[in-house]
């Protein structure tokens, strides 16, 4: 099966119909058919089920040796080559599958210096993207609901492309909690980032770059496995806060949030 995430073309190979259905639903993946030999592929992922034990915690063990990088949790295992062109993923269940692909793709885009996955929600308004971080999973879902009918680009992990020169773009993210990707808009220019704090009043405090950098780094969905990759991630975080305003925003859980922003 073949899917596009951000600007990347991913080929999924699996023999389980259950996994195939999950990949098709989550990533809008299509059967390759006779086109397989003609398709450009950025990464090929082979997926197997019946691995490991049920989820017991979010901690991921990483190891790099023998020309391979491994990410391992009780419910999944990822082995990928150093250039992130081919990967083998083994999972316990659908929950593990989605987390494994999130870990793998996050590491892949950092390796390529393409961008970041940020633990946040993102909503599009007038062709601009607004990121909201600092929320619990319940808070992200609530924010998505009060933002309707605006287009929700993410409700769990926001996909940000960080290019040189300050060109920062948010792509429609398939890594969702509840709000399934509608694929109505592929990407929007990032306008601002808001670290939300629940309050009885609406107020915004702009953060200086050093403080904003700490907040952004703390909201990465997956932290890289070594110093070189961590350096790439930190460089992109720094570039992000140099070009995009970041603020602490105190808000009430209603439409007044949007009235104070746009």
For 137, the 3-state DSSP assignment is: helix
Average pLDDT of the residues in 45-57: 96
Domains in the chain: ranges and CATH = 2-112 (no CATH), 117-259 (3.40.50)
Q: What is the pLDDT of residue 126?
A: 86
Q: Is the pLDDT of residue 37 over 90?
A: no
Q: Is the pLDDT of residue 38 over 60?
A: no
Q: Is the pLDDT of residue 54 over 90?
A: yes
Length of the chain: 262
Q: What is the pLDDT of residue 138?
A: 52
229 pLDDT band (50/70/90 cuts)? very high
Q: Is the pLDDT of residue 35 over 70?
A: no
Choose among 100, 43, 45, 56: nearest CA to 76. Answer: 100
CA distance 195 to 175: 20
Name the least confident of 24-28, 166-170, 195-199, 227-231: 195-199
String of DSSP letters for 55-122 = ---S--EEEEETTEEEEEETTEEEEE-TTSSEEEEEESSHHHHHHHHHHHHHHHHHHTT-EEEEESEE
Q: Is the pLDDT of residue 224 over 70?
A: yes
pLDDT in tens, 88-139: 999 999 999 999 999 999 999 999 999 999 999 999 988 899 999 886 655 5
Helices assigned H by DSSP within 127-189: 137-147
Say if CB 220 and CB 60 are below 8 A apart: no
> Which tokens belong to 168?
């920062």
The owner of tokens 């110093």 is 227
Average pLDDT of the residues in 32-57: 86
* pLDDT above 90 as % of the chain: 64
pLDDT in tens, 156-210: 899 999 998 888 999 999 998 876 776 666 889 999 999 988 777 777 899 999 9
40 pLDDT band (50/70/90 cuts)? confident
Q: What is the pLDDT of residue 242?
A: 96
Q: Is the pLDDT of residue 255 over 90?
A: no
Say if CB 216 and CB 131 are below 8 A apart: no
């Amino acid at each position: 099966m073949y899917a596009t995430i951000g600007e990347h073309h991913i080929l999924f190979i699996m023999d389980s119909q259950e996994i195939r259905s999950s990949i098709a639903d989550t990533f809008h993946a299509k059967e390759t058919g006779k086109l397989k030999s003609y398709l450009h592929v950025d990464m090929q992922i082979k997926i197997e089920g019946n691995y490991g034990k049920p989820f017991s915690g979010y901690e991921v063990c990483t190891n790099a040796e023998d020309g391979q990088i491994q990410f391992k949790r009780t419910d999944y295992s990822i082995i990928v080559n150093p250039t992130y062109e081919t990967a083998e993923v083994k999972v316990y269940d659908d929950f593990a599958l989605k987390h494994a692909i999130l870990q793998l793709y996050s590491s892949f885009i950092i390796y390529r210096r393409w961008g970041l996955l940020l633990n946040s929600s993102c909503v599009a308004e007038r062709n601009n993207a607004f990121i909201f971080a600092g929320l619990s999973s319940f808070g992200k879902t609530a924010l998505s609901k009060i933002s309707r009918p605006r287009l929700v680009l993410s409700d769990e992990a926001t996909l940000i492309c960080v290019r040189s020169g300050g060109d920062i773009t948010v792509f429609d993210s398939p890594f969702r909690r509840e709000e399934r990707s509608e694929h109505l808009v592929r990407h929007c220019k990032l306008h601002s980032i808001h670290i939300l704090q629940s309050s009885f009043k609406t107020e915004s405090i702009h953060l200086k770059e050093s403080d904003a950098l700490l907040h952004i780094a703390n909201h990465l969905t997956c932290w890289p496995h070594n110093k070189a990759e961590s350096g790439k991630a930190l460089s992109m975080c720094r570039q992000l806060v140099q070009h995009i305003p970041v603020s602490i925003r105190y808000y009430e859980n209603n439409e007044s949030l949007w009235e104070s922003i746009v």
